[in-house]
Amino acid sequence: MKRNVELVVISDVHLGTYGCKAKELLRYLNSIQPKTLVLNGDIIDIWQFKKSYFPKPHLKVIRKILSLATKNTDVYYITGNHDEMFRKFTDFELGKLKVCNKICLNIDQKKTWIFHGDVFDASVQHSKWIAKLGGKGYDLLIIINNVVNWFLEKMGKEKYSFSKKIKNNVKKAVKYIGDFELTASELAIDNNYDYVVCGHIHQPQIREVVNKKGSCTYLNSGDWIENLSALEYNDKEWTIFYYDEHKHLLKDEEVEEIQEMDNSALLKIVTNFS
């Protein structure tokens, strides 16, 4: 039985990278029936697209999203910095799928502003090549971490996430420099939004922000590399879904086999909208 959810927000999936937890995301998507699904940036990692890596589970995630869009789910694909090439397709619509840079929704009479958030990250806006280099290094770290954890498991020891520790430290530095959460919240308050929903910094969060001009709720959907998290809105309440807390309730669903596909063929499919 699928759970009915009014609104689901996921971001920072990074399909096409070694760190992406596509199988886990697919189990999650197969467990829900969302009325609205917001893909809040960095879903497909175009920055890493030149390497020959796009396995079946990654393709199945795309197929699942397209399947939802052809049925009863409104799907918004909001562009991020890792999939910025899709920005040239802004306002493109295919059935219930719409590509956009940001969206404004009215949720139970609450003004809701949803965007990826890379606009606040000076390190990405002004030093893109450094950010790309960091992304490749992080990808390599994921591979090394997987090997180390394999040995730890064999020795009966607990897994350790080097990548999460390093990534969190890097993201905290970016947050400190740009004061990401506060900047997004204050801008939302200035524009009379009740909710502001971001991704980008891989830090799931729900918190109230108050200043002299008013207040708003800041939310972040996290990522599907380390936190495996999503935002859900139901019955006038926001919650953070963590895969690890619910994985015992989720199961694989039989899906049609998808043949392997090289990146040039996939790129043609996801960009050939005309």
pLDDT tens for 181-237 read 888 899 999 999 999 999 988 889 999 999 999 999 999 999 999 899 999 999 999
How far is the C-alpha of 20 from the C-alpha of 14, rounded, in Å?
Answer: 6
Q: Residue 99: is its pLDDT beyond 80?
A: yes
- Residue 13 host element (H or E): none
The long-range contacts involving 128-133, CB below 8 angstroms and separated by at least 24 positions, are 128/81, 131/81, 132/47
User: Which residue has better confidence, 19 or 195?
Assistant: 195
**Share above pLDDT 70 across residues of the chain, in percent, rounded to a whole number:** 68
Between the alpha carbon of residue 247 and those of residues 24, 28, 121, 145, 241, the distances in Å are 8, 8, 33, 22, 11
Please answer whether residues 47 and 82 qualify as being in contact, where contact means their C-beta atoms are separated by less than 8 angstroms: yes
Q: Residue 49: is its pLDDT beyond 90?
A: no
What residue type is 143 in one-letter code? I
How far is the C-alpha of 81 from the C-alpha of 211, rounded, in Å?
Answer: 29
User: Which residue has better confidence, 179 or 132?
Assistant: 179
Residue tagged 């829900």 (tokens): 32
Among 35-39, 172-176, 221-225, the range scoring the smallest mean pLDDT is 172-176
Which pLDDT score, from 0 to 100, does residue 128 have? 44
According to the 3-state scheme, what is the secondary structure of 132-180?
HHHHHHHHHHHHHHHHHHHHHHHCCCCCCCHHHHHHHHHHHHHHHHHCH
Q: SS3 for 62?
A: helix
- Its CATH class, for the domain covering 3-116+173-271, is alpha beta
**Share above pLDDT 90 across residues of the chain, in percent, rounded to a whole number:** 44
**Residues facing 105 on adjacent strands:** 112
Q: Which residues of 61-92 are buried (b: 16+ CB within 10 A; e: fewer)?
A: bbebbbebbeeebbbbbbbbbbbbebeebeee
The whole-model pTM stands at 0.78
**Both structure tokens of 205:** 């969060």
To the nearest whole number, what is the mean pLDDT of the chain? 79
**Both structure tokens of 149:** 């954890």
Q: Residue 80: is its pLDDT beyond 70?
A: yes
User: Which residue has better confidence, 89 or 266?
Assistant: 89
Closest CA to 76 of 52, 58, 95: 95
Domain boundaries, the chain: 3-116+173-271
Tell me which range, 19-23, 80-84, 229-233, is most confidently predicted by mean pLDDT: 229-233
Maximum alpha-carbon separation in the chain: 56
User: Which residue has better confidence, 43 or 179?
Assistant: 43
